[in-house]
Structure 1
Amino acid sequence: MLAFMEKIKVGVIGLGYAWERLHHPAFEELADRYQITAICDINRGRAEYWGQRLGLDINRDVYTNYLTMVERRDLQVIDIMVPIAQNHPVAEAIAGSGKAIILEKPMGASVEQAEATRGLPERYGIQMMIAENYRYSEEFNLIRDMVRLRKVGTPVHFSYHRTSCFPCAMKKDTFSATEWRQHPDYSGGDLLDAAIHDLAGLRHVFGAVEYLQALGVPQKDDFSPYAAVTVNLQFMNKVIGNFTYYPAGQEPQKPLVGLRIFCTQGMIYLEEPQCGIINVFYNDGRHEMVTYRPMRGYYNELVNFHNALLGREALAVTPEMEIGDLRTVFAILQSITEQDVVKVDRVPYFAVQG
């Protein structure tokens, strides 16, 4: 266990968009708790740029081979942000060093890889957090509390629609511009990379999924096997609902369909995660607007990880929890292929208890 006031020394693997736009700003905000001590990227120019920006010694602290970097004894945590197909093999190699791990979702490119990743903490006696920011976001935690505390009565059903328009963003300075996302070498494409966030948010609110049945519109574009998917879900707490994901097009009408949870005394409405407002409508005509700060999941997950390393609290998103999100994606793919209902979770782990 680390000393209470000790800064945690972090080594970073992968300096692309996830580092630049998501993890690095959160580490900057928590500079009193974390110290970026070494960095690694296969692109030497990018690694040196970040080395200079972070004030690191270019010859000592900047690497292109993560296996060399991980040999450093001063590093306590490794933050892994690599293409999805590399998540498990890199995590396994780092786990063998005995260092704690922050691993971007999903925790593998297949269910088999994810199962192997889940076993790494026990196998090597390390702490591992899966960086699923929706589970740490203010909006989904507020909605989870509203559901658990029956703010508008008992939840009955929901509708959740998300549009991402991957083709719109492919030629812009976005995640969609990356080659490995445009031509993924893993099943599911954008469903496993992006839609998994929304499914994690739903599972965070309602718990484990009992059954699902899915349909998809096939397409030839590599980024996703389906232009759109629609999924009927039944959670183990018996809430039912529909999730639709449309990565191949746009949703021009405003307000967006968003997430709508229908309860016995009203409705909870989130237009989209970055809007900053959760609308609560009551059956008696009352209306409440609950504000939140968007994009706080990355900060919150690092706070939780720091506290867990100090022994002050448990990790909120462990591999055991996160594997259910990945399993749900592959259950959707299975259901579309087999044209059948698929059972997802066998036991109600992390389900909201009424």
Structure 2
Amino acid sequence: MDKLKVGIIGTGLAFERLHYPAYQELSDKYEIVALCDPEPDKTRQWVDRLGIRGDSIYTDYRPMLWRNDINIFDVMVPIEHNYRVTEDIARTLAHQPGKAIICEKPLASNYEQARAHAELPRKYGIPIMIAENYRYNEDINIIRDVIRQKKVGDVVYFIQNKVVNFPHDMLKNKFARTEWRQHPVFHGGVIMDTGVHDVAGIRHIFGAIDRLQAFGVPQNDDFAPYAIVTVNMQFKSGTIGQFSFYCSGKEMQRPLIGMRIFGTGGMIYLEERDCGVINVVHDDGNREQIPYRPQRGYYNELLNLYNAMFGKETIAVTPEMEFGDAKTILDMLRSIRENKIVSVDLTENYIPTYQYGNATAQFEFHQTGWH
């Protein structure tokens, strides 16, 4: 089986804890052949671990782009650099068969860059996958299927409460310890960085959002402009819901509020993404518990890209789709600032501008030898 050769751009925590374990599990499909990070200390630890030669270690990603033996460029840089670095790669690799880009979420930090990022695949003729793992997680997809199968009747409304104790996490060996997250230069801080996951999951389950109204409690901390954001959403399907994101404290009571979905024939309850079970309770008193494997999004997204590169699937999460997730967060922040209801999705259904294997844009795989 052919392996896709990968060049890593950014070797921080996202690579170490999220992407690298998935590459290990898919070692029959991917091989990491080059690393880039502006801080040499970050790449040094990987040289022996991955068996990569010194001439395949870079502090500037641009020389790496001219290597014919790399198929996939995996971008894991601070959020404010996502669009610029991805656009630079896409422009350099324009219309080259057998090349693709992975970019971490969110795809950009403002409206203008997010919209421009969404146009990159069509503009440069190169496939791009956004690593939004929530859209690939088993729990989100199971809930989506339960709703589509109307196991709880027609969905009427939902509530979801997410709590992140960023002030505590920033003192631990966690993502919050990074300087660019503690003092972000992108809109929303941790609300954008972490909250976009939850928004992606919500939009994946319930579809397009017609409009929203958000409220926030301001705080003086750099990591987020608001300690808590709560937003009312009306979906084009007719479903309504409430999402709350509290980033400055703890939820002490168990079970957690989590996600609770109410239908005409029952309800769905997911306490948290790592609990491993989805509870479905029917109005007639019957109950079922659906088990799932937590944190499979990173594996599933890489498997999806691999199959797409060989023409077996379409990329599930493209920049066009992730634009809607990022825009929703930006619309929430705008609604708070301007104290008004904001329209979100202009169309009811997401239709990708390119697909693998169709007549309009075929991307075939051919094996070839931030500042």
The root-mean-square deviation of aligned C-alpha atoms, in Å, is 0.9
Q: Which residue of 1 aligns with 2:51?
A: 55
More divergent stretch after superposition (341-350 vs 232-241): 341-350
1:213–1:231: 8 Å Cα contact kept in structure 2?
yes
| The one of 89, 92, 97 aligned to 1:94 | 89
* Counterpart residue number, 1:300: 300
Equivalent position of 2:34 in the other structure: 38
Instruction: Note if 1:6 corresponds to 2:2.
Output: yes
Aligned to 1:96, the other structure's residue is in SS state helix
1:129-208 matches, cutoff 5 A: 129-208=129-208
- Specify the SS of the correspondent of 1:90: helix
Secondary structure of the residue that 1:199 maps to in structure 2? helix
User: Is it true that 1:81 corresponds to 2:76 in the alignment?
Assistant: yes
Deviations 1:12-49 (A, max 9, x none): 00011100000000000000000101011111021121
Deviation at 1:116, TM superposition (A): 1.1
Q: For 1:57 and 1:344, locate their aligned partners in 2 and report how far apart those are by CA, in whole Å.
A: 48
Return structure 1 stretches of 4+ with deviation > 3 angstroms.
none
Cα distance between partner residues in 2 of 1:122 and 1:159 = 36
- Separation (CA, whole Å) in 1 of partners of 2:38 and 2:24: 23
Amino acid at match of 1:294: P
Match in the other structure for 1:64: 59
Query: Which runs of structure 2 are paired with 1:96-135 in the superposition (5 Å)?
Result: 96-98=91-93, 99-135=99-135
After superposition, residues 333-348 of structure 1 pair within 5 angstroms as 333-348=333-348
Give the aligned residue type for 1:22.
L
Alignment equivalent of 1:24, drawn from 16, 20, 36:
20
Structure 2: any 5+ residue segments left out of the alignment? 94-98, 352-371
The answer on whether the counterparts of 1:51 and 1:61 sit within 8 Å (CA) in structure 2 is no
1:203 CA displacement: 0.1
Report whether the alignment pairs 1:287 with 2:287.
Answer: yes
Q: Which moved more, 1:142-151 or 1:115-124?
A: 115-124
Structure 2 residue matching 1:298: 3-state secondary structure: helix
Task: Indicate the SS of the match to 2:92.
Answer: coil
Tell me how far apart the structure 2 counterparts of residues 15 and 69 of structure 1 sit (CA, whole Å). Answer: 15
- For 2:297, give the aligned amino acid: G
- Higher mean alpha-carbon deviation, 46-55 vs 333-342, is at 46-55
Q: Is 1:325 aligned with 2:325? A: yes
Distance 1:297 1:215 in 2: 30
CA distance in 1: counterparts of 2:342 and 2:120, whole angstroms: 28
Secondary structure at the aligned position of 1:228 is classed as: strand
- What corresponds to 2:361 in structure 1? none
SS of aligned partner of 1:130: strand
1:172-208 Cα distance to aligned partner (Å, 9 max, x none): 0000000000000011111110000000000000001
Aligned residues: 346
Corresponding residue number in structure 2 for 1:312: 312
Q: Distance in 2 between matches of 1:113 and 1:161?
A: 29
Percent identical pairs in the alignment equals: 53
Point out the more displaced range, 280-289 or 126-135: 280-289
SS of the equivalent of 2:83 reads: helix
Opposite residue 342 of structure 2, the aligned amino acid is V
Residue in 2 that maps onto 1:230? 230
For 1:218 and 1:78, the matched residues in 2 are separated by 38
Q: Distance in 2 between matches of 1:349 and 1:42?
A: 40
Match of 2:247 in 1: 247
Q: Which amino acid aligns with 1:341?
A: I
Can you list the C-alpha shifts for 1:284-340, whole angstroms capped at 9, x where unaligned? Answer: 111111000000000000000000010111111111111100010011001101111
- What secondary structure, in the 3-state scheme, does the structure 2 residue paired with 1:51 have? helix
Q: Deviations over 1:233-272 (max 9, x none)?
A: 0011010010000001100000000000000111000001
Q: How far apart, CA to CA, are the structure 2 residues paired with 1:304 and 1:68? A: 28
Code of the residue aligned with 1:7 in structure 2: it is K
Q: Provide the rounded CA distance (Å) in 1 between the counterparts of 2:201 and 2:42.
A: 33
TM-score using structure 2 length = 0.92
Q: Distance in 1 between matches of 2:85 and 2:209?
A: 29
